[in-house]
A and B are shown apart, each in its own frame.
Chain A
Amino acid sequence: MAVAEKRIFRIEIDERLCKGCSLCVDFCPTNVLTMDGNMVAVKELDACNGCQLCDNRCPDFAIQVFEE
C-alpha cells in the first residue's frame, strides 16, 4: 500500500510586521502557532497542514506558509 508522502511546510514570520494580535494563533486548526510575548512563534511545525488560514486572517502581511 502506498503511503502518502509527508508534506513539509516552512512558516515565515516577518517580525518587523507582526503586531501580536493572535488571530493566526487562534484560527490555526492544528495549534501550530503560539504567542511569545507580543510576537507569534512556531510551536509545532510538524502539525502544519499548509491550509494558509493564518496568512489569510493575518491583517499585517506578517505570516506566510510555503510548501518545501
Chain B
Amino acid sequence: MSRPAEEIKPLAKKKKKAPFNYSPYVRGGKLPHIWCPGCGHGIVLKCLLRAIHTTGLLRDDIAMVSGIGCSSRTPGYVDFNTLHTLHGRALAYATGLKLAKPRLNVIVTTGDGDALAIGGNHFIHACRRNMDMTILVYNNAVYGMTSGQASPTTPPGKISTTSRNGSIEPPFDTCSLARAAGATFVARGTAYHFQELEKVIYEAIMHKGTSVVDIIDACPTYYGRFNKYKSPTEMMEKIEKEGTVSVKQVDKLSPEELEGKLLRGILHKSDRPEYCAEYQKLMTKVQAK
C-alpha cells in the first residue's frame, strides 16, 4: 500500500531500517521448515537468499540441486528451479543439468556426509572439472537426518551414534580437499558470522568455475546433545565463534592461538578454464570439420 504524498516527510534525514523481505524467494505455504529448533540450516538458508538477492539474478536463472540429508531439504523451500535427488548424487545431477542448460546458475546445497562421504567421489571430480557451479557444504559434523552418526568431518574425540566413546578418525578439511581436487574458489563461513557468510556465498555464486563454501553450522539435536552443549546458542559460540578465525586475522595470531581453529573467509581463488566453455569450444571445432 502506498502512502498519500502529504504523509511523506520532505527532508527525511536517515533511511529507515527495514528487514530483508524473504517472501519472494520462499515457496508459499512451505514454512515452517522441518529443521529442529535452533538448527543452523535456517540461518544459512537466509544468508543464501540474501546473497542471491544481491546478485540480481532472476529466480528462473537459478537451479538449486540437493542430495539427501537435513541440508538437502533446502531446495524444497525456495522458489527457484529445484531438484532433490539421491544421496550423495547431487553433483552428478548438477553436472548433467549444467551441461544441458549452461545458462542456469547452479547451486548445490549438501551436507558433510552427503558431499564428502556418500558423494565424496562426485565431489572431487566436480572440483577437478571446474564446471561453473556453487557447492555449499552445510557442515555440522554429523549425519543429522539419520540420527547422528559420525561423518567425515566429525572432530576427533567427539561423540556420535557411531562413536560412543569419541571418534578416533582424523576428519577431512573440506576446504583443503576442495582445493587439492581443483576447485577454483574455496571459502569457509559459519552461521554465527552471518554477514561474512552472505558475502562469501555471493562471491562463490559470482565466480566462474567450481566454488566450494564450507559452512560450519550446528545440529543441536544430535551433535549438540551427544557432546553436552547446553543450547544452540552455546554451540554457535563455542564451535562457530571461538572455533574459527578470519583469514584477515591470521598474521596477528601466534601458532598457539591458531591451534585447532578453522579459517574463515576466501581461502583460495584461481583462474582455470571452465568446463562448459571448453566443451563449447570443442563442439564448435568438431562441427566445423
Contacts and interface: CB of A to CB of B under 8 A. Distances in A.
Interface of A: 7, 9, 16-17, 19-23, 26-27, 50, 52, 55-61, 64-68
A21 B37 contact: yes
Contact of A19 (B37, B192, B233): B37
Contact of A22 (B18, B192, B233): B233
Interface of B: 16-20, 22, 26, 31-33, 35-43, 46, 191-192, 194-195, 220, 231-233, 236
Contact of B32 (A19, A26, A57, A67): A19
13 contacts: A9-B17, A17-B32, A19-B38, A20-B37, A21-B37, A22-B233, A59-B40, A59-B43, A60-B35, A61-B46, A65-B17, A65-B19, A67-B17
Contacts, number: 69
Nearest to A16: B32
B195 to A, nearest CB: 8
Contact of A67 (B16, B46, B191): B16
B231 A52 contact: no
Interface centre among A22, A23, A26, A65 (most CB of B within 10 A): A23
Nearest to B26: A61
Nearest to B38: A21
Contacts of A65: 17, 19
Contacts of B18: 66-67
A19 B42 CA distance: 12
Contacts of B42: 58-61
Interface centre among A50, A60, A65 (most CB of B within 10 A): A60
Contacts of A66: 17-19
